[in-house]
Structure 1
Amino acid sequence: MGAQATSSDGGTRTGGVEIAGVTKTYGDATAVDDLSLSVQPGEFLSLLGPSGCGKTTTLRMIAGFEHPDDGDIRISGRSVLGLPPHRREVNTVFQAYALFPHMTVAENVAYGLQQRRVPKAEQRQRVAEALDMVQLRRFADRKPTQLSGGQQQRIALSRALINRPSVLLLDEPLAALDRQLREEMQVELKLLQARLGTTFVFVTHDQGEALSMSDRIAVMRNGRIEQLGDSSSIYAEPASAYVASFIGQQNFLHGTAGEADDVQTARGRFEGRWGGERVAAGEAALAAIRPEFIRLEPANSVGTGVDGRVLGVSHLGETLQVVVGIGDGETLLVRTPAPTAPRVQEDDPVRCTWSPEHVRLFGAEGVPTTATHVIALPETVRA
C-alpha cells in the first residue's frame, strides 16, 4: 500500500484521487484539457458524457494505462506519475469481462493473488470472502461460460476487489447487459460499494446509470468538466444547456433573451430562472422545461404555455408520454403519471401549460437548433 491521504480529523484514509491540471493529447486532438478533479475517499463518482468527451481517457490515466502530457495524478496523497498499473492502488473493471474460460470461477478470482504469490491458505480464504461479497460462492467450481452475463460481471468485480484496491475504476461495466439485468446490477453495485466503502470511479454514457448510483457526477464535454454535483443538483439545476440536454429529457424553445428573466420565442414570451451565465438582451437564448413539469389542458385554456396538437401517445408503464406538435415542425415532449393523465389521442387539440418556476433559461450554445426537444421526430411525422 502507498501513502495515505490525511483526513480533516487528523486520521488517515486511503482512496482519495486528485487530478490536478491534467492534459492529454493525441496528435492535434486534445482528449483531456487541463482537467482538475478531487474524488473523496469512499465516494462513488461517475464520469458522464458522450463518446469522445474524455471520460475513458481520464480513467485510463488514473489506472496507468495512459500517461498525461501535463499535470499530476495523486492516489491516497501520493503522485502516481510514472508508476505502472500494477504498482498503483487501483484495479479496473472493463466492459468486456476478460475472464479466463478454461479456469473455474474460483481460479479466475484467485488469479491476482497467485501473481502476487499470496500463500494458498490465504488465497482460499480471500476467494471465499470475495465470492460471498457478490453472492456467487456456490458457483466457485463452475466455468464462466456456465453463468449468465450478470454473474460473469460479478465475477469480474470480485476479481478486481480481491486485491483490496483503494480505488476501483469501472469503464462502462454494465453496457453489455440487457436492460433489466443492467438495472438490477446498478442496485447491486451501489449496495456493494456502500458496504465496502471503497472509492469507485465509474465511467458511463448512460445518464440513468449515473443518476441512480452516484454520490456525485462529473458531466464532461470536450475534455473538460461542464458541471460537477450530486444527482439532484445536476438534474434540477443544470449549469448549461449542454448539461440540461444530456441529463434526462428536456424541451427547448428557441428565441432571444429579454430585458428581464425571460426569453422571447415564436410561441410567446416565457419567464424563468437563468441556469449558468445570463446572456445579454437580444442574444440567442433558450427556455427549457422538463417533460414532467408540463400539464396537458384543453385547447385554448388559460395559463403560461402553448397550444398544439397530439402527434403520438406512448404508455411507459406508470407514465404516459405524449408528443405534441406546436407548429413549424416543432414538438414538445410531455410525461405525466398514467393514473392521473388526461385521456388524449392522436390529432386532439391541447394546450401545454407550466409554471415559470420550472423553466430554466440558457444561452443557445450547446444544443442543436434543429429540434425543440432532445428526441427529434422523423420528417414524416413532423409533416
Structure 2
Amino acid sequence: MSTGTATDAESAPTISSGSSEGEDQRGGVVLSGITKLYGDQAAVDDLSLTIQPGEFISLLGPSGCGKTTTLRMIAGFEQPDAGDIRISGRPVRGIPPYRRDVNTVFQAYALFPHLSVAENVAYGLQQRRTPKSEVRDRVTQALDLVQMRRFGDRKPTQLSGGQQQRIALARALVNRPAVLLLDEPLGALDRQLREEMQLEVKLLQSRLGITFVFVTHDQGEALSMSDRIAIMRAGRIEQLADADTVYARPASAYVAAFVGQQNFFRGAVAEAGAAITSPHALVRAAAPVLTTTNLGEAAVRPEYIRIDKDDPSAPPGEANTTRGDLIGISHLGDTMQYLVRLGDDQSLIVRRPTPDAPVLEVGDAVVCSWAAHHVLLFPADDAAQEGGYVPPPTL
C-alpha cells in the first residue's frame, strides 16, 4: 500500500446516511458535564465537549487520562455516573450501543477468521436483517471505499495488518453511522504503514463527511489528522484547539510537554513576568505573561535553538544563551540532533536541519541560543513531568 491510493479514495463512491431526519444535526455529539467513577476515582471528571457534524476530532493524552473511557461512553459500552450525552441531537444516556447511530473501530480489529472479507463486512447488515440484494450492494460499496473489493473472497488471516485495518473500517462504515469512533486503530501497525494509513483515514473521512472521534496517545497521529485536538489530563480537557494552536500556543506546561518536545528551564520569575532565572540561563520571552512572583517554567523547542562551537574568549552570554558540553550527536535524516550537558542536573536537546547543521564533535564546548519569541512561559506546577517530559540524561 502506498500513499498513491489517495486519488482512488477521492474518487470512491459516497456512502449516504440513509436518513433525512435532522440532517443538520446528524453526526453532532454533545457531552455535558459527564463523569465516570470507578470506585472513588474519577476516570472522567465533569467533562463537556461539543463535536460538530462532520468533524475529525482526536482525544489525545497519556494512559489513564480518560480518553478511552470518554469514547466508550459515547459508544454506549459505559454509562456516565453524571451528565448527559446527545448524538445527532438525541439524548442517548442509558441507550445500548446497538441502538446508537455510531460504530466503533478498535485497535484489535476483531475480524472473524472463519469468514471471508465480504462476509465480515456484511455481518452487521445481516444482523439487522437487511435484504440480501441491499447487503451485496452496500458491501461492494464499502469495500470500494477502502480499495479492497478484489480481496472480498479472502480470509482475514491472508491479509496484512494494513489491509485488515481497512476491512475493519469498511465493516464499520457499511452500516452508515452518523459517528465513527476509533480507539487507537493504528497502534498495531509499523511506523511506515501507520503513517500511510493516517493519510488514507483522513482522506476517507473528508470524502465521506462522517464525524470521526479518534482516540490516540500518539501526538503525530493527532496533529496530522485532526480538525481539532482535545488534550486530556486526569479526566478533563486541558486544551481544545486545532493542531497549529496546540503546537505553537499550548495552554499549559502539561500540553507543551505532551505535544512535541520541549526543553524546560525552571527558576524564579524575573523582569515583571517576562523571564525565568534558571541556574543555567536567563530565559526571556518576547512579552511578560507570568503574574506569579514565585517559580516559573520556560519552554523552548529543540528546533528553535542554535548551536555553535564555543569561543572561550567570548564574553558571557546574555539572555537566551547558555553554554555546555556536547555529549551526543544523532543523525535523524532531515535533521541533526545534539545533546548538550549544561550541568549535573540538566541537559538540552537541539535539532538543526541537516544541510545547515554545524560540524561538531562529542566533547566540544558549545554555546546555544534562541530568540525570545520562541520562548513559552508557564507557572511551575510540575506539569511538564506529568505531561510526559523526561529530562535528557546527563552522561
TM-score using structure 2 length:
0.90
Q: Counterparts of 2:24 and 2:176 in 1: how far apart (Å)?
A: 17
User: Which consecutive residues of structure 2, in runs of 5 or more, have no partner in the other structure?
Assistant: 1-17
Partner of 1:160: helix, strand, or coil?
A: helix
- Structural mapping, 1:250-261, within 5 Å: 250-258=262-270, 259-261=272-274
Q: Are 1:120 and 2:136 counterparts?
A: no
Q: Are 1:207 and 2:219 counterparts?
A: yes
Q: Counterparts of 1:52 and 1:32 in 2: how far apart (Å)?
A: 10
The equivalent residue for 1:154 is: 166
Residue deviations 1:15-53 (CA, integer Å, cap 9, x gap): 000000111101011000000000000000000000110
2:208 to 183, 193, 196: 196
Deviation at 1:269, TM superposition (A): 2.0
- One-letter amino acid of the structure 1 residue matched with residue 134 of structure 2: E
Q: Are 1:163 and 2:175 counterparts?
A: yes
Number of positions where the alignment pairs a residue of Structure 1 with one of Structure 2 = 372
The equivalent residue for 2:184 is: 172
RMSD: 2.0
The equivalent residue for 1:343 is: 359
Deviation at 1:75, TM superposition (A): 0.4
The equivalent residue for 2:389 is: 374
Residue deviations 1:159-203 (CA, integer Å, cap 9, x gap): 000000000000000111111111111011001000000000000
Deviation at 1:228, TM superposition (A): 0.4
User: Which consecutive residues of structure 1, in runs of 5 or more, have no partner in the other structure?
Assistant: 6-10
Q: Are 1:34 and 2:49 counterparts?
A: no
Contact 1:2 1:76 in 2 (8 A): no
Residue deviations 1:262-313 (CA, integer Å, cap 9, x gap): 11111232211589x73411x1111100000001123156663101111101
The percent of aligned pairs where both chains have the same amino acid is: 61
Partner of 1:313: helix, strand, or coil?
A: strand
Q: Counterparts of 1:20 and 1:122 in 2: how far apart (Å)?
A: 38
Deviation at 1:112, TM superposition (A): 0.5
Deviation at 1:3, TM superposition (A): 9.4
Contact 1:4 1:77 in 2 (8 A): no
Mark the CA change 1:345 to 1:146 in structure 2 (over 3 Å): closer, same or farther.
Answer: same
Q: Counterparts of 2:347 and 2:340 in 1: how far apart (Å)?
A: 5
- Structural mapping, 1:15-54, within 5 Å: 15-54=27-66
Mark the CA change 1:69 to 1:111 in structure 2 (over 3 Å): closer, same or farther.
Answer: same
Residue deviations 1:220-272 (CA, integer Å, cap 9, x gap): 00000000000000000001000000000100011011223111111232211
Q: Are 1:266 and 2:282 counterparts?
A: no
- One-letter amino acid of the structure 2 residue matched with residue 252 of structure 1: F
Q: Counterparts of 1:314 and 1:265 in 2: how far apart (Å)?
A: 27
Deviation at 1:131, TM superposition (A): 0.4
The equivalent residue for 1:295 is: 306
Deviation at 1:2, TM superposition (A): 8.4
Contact 2:282 2:321 in 1 (8 A): no
Deviation at 1:370, TM superposition (A): 11
Runs of 4+ in 1 over 2 A off after TM superposition: 1-5, 300-304, 366-371, 373-378
Q: Are 1:359 and 2:380 counterparts?
A: no
Q: Counterparts of 1:175 and 1:194 in 2: how far apart (Å)?
A: 22
Deviation at 1:368, TM superposition (A): 5.4
Mark the CA change 1:60 to 1:340 in structure 2 (over 3 Å): closer, same or farther.
Answer: same
- One-letter amino acid of the structure 2 residue matched with residue 264 of structure 1: T
The equivalent residue for 1:322 is: 338
Partner of 2:80: helix, strand, or coil?
A: coil
- One-letter amino acid of the structure 1 residue matched with residue 379 of structure 2: G
Q: Counterparts of 2:203 and 2:107 in 1: how far apart (Å)?
A: 20
Q: Counterparts of 2:306 and 2:21 in 1: how far apart (Å)?
A: 53
Q: Counterparts of 1:167 and 1:122 in 2: how far apart (Å)?
A: 22
Q: Counterparts of 1:185 and 1:290 in 2: how far apart (Å)?
A: 28
- One-letter amino acid of the structure 2 residue matched with residue 310 of structure 1: L
1:305 to 310, 314, 321: 321
Contact 1:153 1:173 in 2 (8 A): yes
Deviation at 1:375, TM superposition (A): 4.2
Contact 1:299 1:351 in 2 (8 A): yes
